[in-house]
Homo-oligomer: A and B are copies of this chain.
Amino acid sequence: MSAEPRTVPKYYLLKEQLRDLVRNATPGTLIPTERALAEQYATSRTTVRQAIGELVAEGVLGRAQGRGTFVAPPRSTYVRQLTSFSDDAAAQGLASSSTVLDVSRTSADDDAAARLRVPVGAELARVERIRLINGEPLAHEVALLTGPLPDLAQHLDRTGSLYTALRQDYGIDIVEAEDTVETQLAGPDDVRILGIEMGAPLLLIHRLGFAADDSPVEWTRSVFRGDRFRFLARMRSPQR
C-alpha cells in the first residue's frame, strides 16, 4: 500500500504552523490572543489552547493570564559535570545565582539512609535551594549531606557554592557521582516555586555523590524546568 495518510489532529497542524510563525521572532513578542487565533483558523478556542499548550511545554512559547502569549527565549544548555552550578553557567556566559531556602539538620528517612549507607534516623545536613539563571528560577534542589559540617550556613553564604564549601571548609572532595534523569510533570508545588504552569514537563534528577574514599556523602533531588534545561554528561569507560 502507499503511505497511509494517518489522520493528523487539527491541533497538531496548528501547533506546527504557530511554531513556524514564531521561528525567527524576537523573544517576548506577543502573538495573537487565543480568541483571535480561534477565529483566524476557523476552530475552537479549546483546540487553539491545546496547540499553544504543547508549544509552551516545549519552551517555544510562554504565557501569562491577563497579559497574553509570547515568544519564549531559547533553551539554555547547561553542563552538569562534577563542577559547580555557578562555574557551569559562567562558562556559557550566563548570570547564575541561587536562593538558599533552608540550611538545617534533619534525620535520614528510609530512602536517604539506604543511599547514604547510614542508619534510618541518622542526623544529616539539609540544604534547600532555588537555582536561577538570569534571575529566572530554573531548578529546585534539596541536598542531604553526611558529616557534622559545623557552620554550614555561613560557609555556604560566603562561597556561594556547596561543592566549594565542602572542599575548602571540610576537606570533602566529591570525585564521583551517579545521576539519574527522568521526566516528571509539574504539580502545584513546582508551579509555585518555579513559576511554570501545571503539567509542564520537568527533568527530575537524583544525584548520589561520592568522596575520594568511595563513601556516599551527598544525596540530592533536583527538579529542573524541562523547557529551559538540557542535561549533559561526559563519561569515560570503566576500566576493564
Identify the A interface with B (CB < 8 A). Answer: 6, 8-9, 12, 54, 57-58, 75, 77, 81-82, 173-185, 187-188, 192, 198-199, 201-203, 226-227, 229-238
Contacts and interface: CB of A to CB of B under 8 A. Distances in A.
A180 B236 contact: no
Given A6-B192, A198-B9, A185 B58 contact: yes
A233 B206 CA distance: 10
A180 B232 contact: yes
A181 B181 contact: yes
Nearest to A184: B58
A181 B233 contact: yes
Nearest 10 Cβ contacts at the A-B interface = A183-B226, A233-B233, A181-B231, A82-B237, A175-B237, A182-B230, A183-B201, A201-B201, A178-B234, A179-B233
Contact of A77 (B180, B227, B232): B180
Contacts of A75: 182
A178 B233 contact: yes
A93 to B, nearest CB: 18
A8 B190 CA distance: 13
Contacts of A77: 180
Given A180-B77, A183-B227, A188 B8 contact: yes
Contact of A235 (B12, B81, B229): B81
Given A12-B198, A187-B12, A235 B182 contact: no
Contact of A180 (B179, B183, B230): B230
